[in-house]
Amino acid sequence: MLLKIAWRNIWRKRTRSLIIIFAVTLGIWAGLFICSFMGGFISSMMDDSINHTFSHIQIHNPAFKGNNEIQYTIKDPQKVLTAVESNPEVKAATLRNIAYGMTASPSTASGTKIIGINPEAEKKVTAFNIFVKQGTYFEGKSTNGVLVGQKLVEKLHVKMHSKLVLTFAGPDGNIVSGAFRVIGIYKTNNSQADLATVFINTKDFNALLGSDSTYHEIAMMMKDPDKVDTVNAAMKKQFPNLIVESWKELSPETVTLNDYVAFILYILMGVFMLSLAFAIVNTMLMAVMERTRELGMLMAIGMNKSRTFGMIMLETITLTFVGFPFGIGLSYLTIEYFGKKGISLAMFAKGMENFGMTSMVYPTLKETFYWQIALMVFFTALLAAIYPSVKAIRLKPAEAIRKI
């Protein structure tokens, strides 16, 4: 009965009620969309780091991690790779060679990280081939081909099929160098990495060293990303003489940024809920003031304070939750639409690429966040209803009736 009365009271002042419903809808939509945009931004960064740079888990010689020197290789790399690939949770894995040296063109030179990759295996792990914008990705049987980043191409003043000389220190400390041809130019979302990294075929890398088993890194991807920590812990025990690290350990700054953004999202929603609470309190307090004589009359004829309190509470909560599904529905449709189409930040692309950020954002929001918002809205309405309800039950019937 009380709920029925509260519902009728809401629509006695349609304009005022519709304003609150609109405010609730707009507040929820704005809050969720901003959260989804930030979530999509961080998710894009994390996916880019994992899928195209770090992979889920990497294995190294412990000494190589500390010194980055070419002599610290993985012993019996093929045996370790076979053991890794036999894990049912591993989707794909690959071996890499790594050296830090110099890449020189006829006009200038630049310090670079030289990575030797198995082209076919690398496709399955990081799909790096999708970033090749000009030329080919080690197609054919040509030897001594090199993939160079767009930024490095500009710095070295070279183009497709230009000759480059790669130089680095060998395992015995002697200088190793080789002539390579630019067979492809790549461009990722990280311009700094593009400037400092070149890729060659692992066979060509080992040929320079006169070896066929010099490998410094094993990178792998999981079938289920949620099991990365479990597999990482198991492999630490399986390979005690090697250092096994998940992407979280390889890129702790990404994890920190993700946690920080998650914290910011809750603060943002808190700000939106606080604004919503003030709007509700203001409107319901105005409603109570307008109905002073009516409420006084109800209390005079026997309506006790608890029922009066409950009626105002129900009016506030009901009014809020009328707008809630509209806000959630609008948010869901907007996030789904832009989650597929994406939001281009092309005007900031150059600056963002300097920090390894993508200029295309695909808003995303976990389903659990919708339930959390529902609880936040409920408690916001509950708290916002208390003051107007208390104000109502403090009215003195005799004085309230006399007010016009």
The answer for residues whose C-beta is within 8 angstroms of residue 388's C-beta and 6 or more apart is: 281, 284, 285, 287, 288, 312, 316
pLDDT digit string, tens, across residues 303-361? 667 777 777 777 777 777 778 888 888 888 998 888 888 777 766 656 555 555 666 78
Q: Are 162 and 144 in contact (CB under 8 A)?
A: no
Report CA Rg, the chain.
Answer: 31
pLDDT for 3 equals 63
pLDDT at 243: 93
Angle of helix 14-49 versus helix 252-290 axis, rounded to 10: 180
Task: Of 32, 35, 6, 10, give the one whose Cα is nearest residue 21.
Answer: 10
For residues 129 and 52, the answer to whether their CB atoms sit within 8 Å is no
- Sequence-separated (6 or more) residues with CB below 8 Å from residue 329: none
Phi, psi of 180 (to 5 degrees): -130, 160
Burial (0-12, 13-18, 19+ Cβ within 10 Å), 383: middle
Rounded Cα–Cα distance for residues 5 and 315 (Å):
9
| 240 φ, ψ (degrees, to nearest 5) | -65, -25
Q: What is the pLDDT along the chain (404 residues), one digit of tens a residue?
A: 566 666 666 666 777 778 778 888 888 888 888 888 888 877 777 777 788 778 999 999 998 877 888 889 999 999 999 999 999 999 999 999 999 999 999 889 999 999 999 999 998 998 888 889 899 898 876 788 999 999 899 999 999 999 999 999 888 888 999 999 999 999 887 778 888 899 999 999 998 888 777 899 999 999 998 899 999 999 999 999 999 999 988 888 877 877 887 788 778 778 877 877 777 777 777 777 766 676 666 667 666 677 777 777 777 777 777 788 888 888 889 988 888 887 777 666 565 555 556 667 888 888 777 887 878 877 887 787 777 777 776 666 666 566 55
Give the distance from CA 175 to its chain's centroid: 42
